[in-house]
Chain A
Amino acid sequence: AQTVTQSQPEMSVQEAETVTLSCTYDTSESNYYLFWYKQPPSRQMILVIRQEAYKQQNATENRFSVNFQKAAKSFSLKISDSQLGDTAMYFCAFIKAAGNKLTFGGGTRVLVKP
């Protein structure tokens, strides 16, 4: 079974600065995908970024980028130039290739301060 761990329950950052969220996972699968989802107070889960395990290049989406370390089973999210609208819960998630069960971490609450 897969497990996903987010060790930071809460983080705060000043507007326009950078924050990095940690995620580690445990799996015996060799082919899988990792995701970061954002859940603002509206509770809508929004897919932020996706990483394929077979790709060495780290994924980026505008101000969001990941640091994927496959050997260490680590998958951190960096939010650059933080904006007030980035305030939300962030969940790291894992799915094995051709599987259908998303396994989520416990979440990290991010507060962007003006």
Chain B
Amino acid sequence: SAVISQKPSRDICQRGTSLTIQCQVDSQVTMMFWYRQQPGQSLTLIATANQGSEATYESGFVIDKFPISRPNLTFSTLTVSNMSPEDSSIYLCSVEPSGRDEQYFGPGTRLTVT
């Protein structure tokens, strides 16, 4: 498995502002992922972040709203831009250790937009 940390663990933000969430893993991994979990819902993949290439976004998610950086093999950031109350969710990062076909999750960031 892998030890994954996220910052911040929670935040309350005003609409129209942006928040950057950090994800740090204790070992080098090729694949990192960002998920959104809306209140009372399941997880939905936002994008896949590979080091050295542009992130790949799922249908319904766009780079202007959720820009992602992946500067190295242990770190990634997700920015939630121009926030509205509908962005209130838990945002989770996950990693896939090479060749395992399974993912391990960070503790999540609980975002509330007022």
Residues of A in contact with B (beta carbons under 8 Å apart):
33, 35, 37, 42-47, 50, 91, 95, 97-102, 104-107
Question: Contact at A43–B102, with CB atoms within 8 Å?
Answer: no
How many whole Å from A26's CB to the nearest CB in chain B? 16
Q: Which residues of B lie under 8 Å from residue A97 when comparing CB positions?
A: 101
User: Number of contacts between A and B (CB, 8 Å)?
Assistant: 50
Interface SS, A side: loop
Report how far A105 CA is from B44 CA in the complex, Å. Answer: 10
Chain B contributes a number of interface residues (CB within 8 A of A) equal to 22
Residues of B within 8 A of A50 (CB): 102
Given A46-B105, A105-B42: 15 more A-B contacts, CB < 8 Å: A35-B102, A43-B90, A43-B108, A44-B108, A45-B94, A47-B102, A91-B42, A91-B43, A95-B101, A99-B101, A100-B31, A102-B33, A102-B94, A104-B44, A106-B41
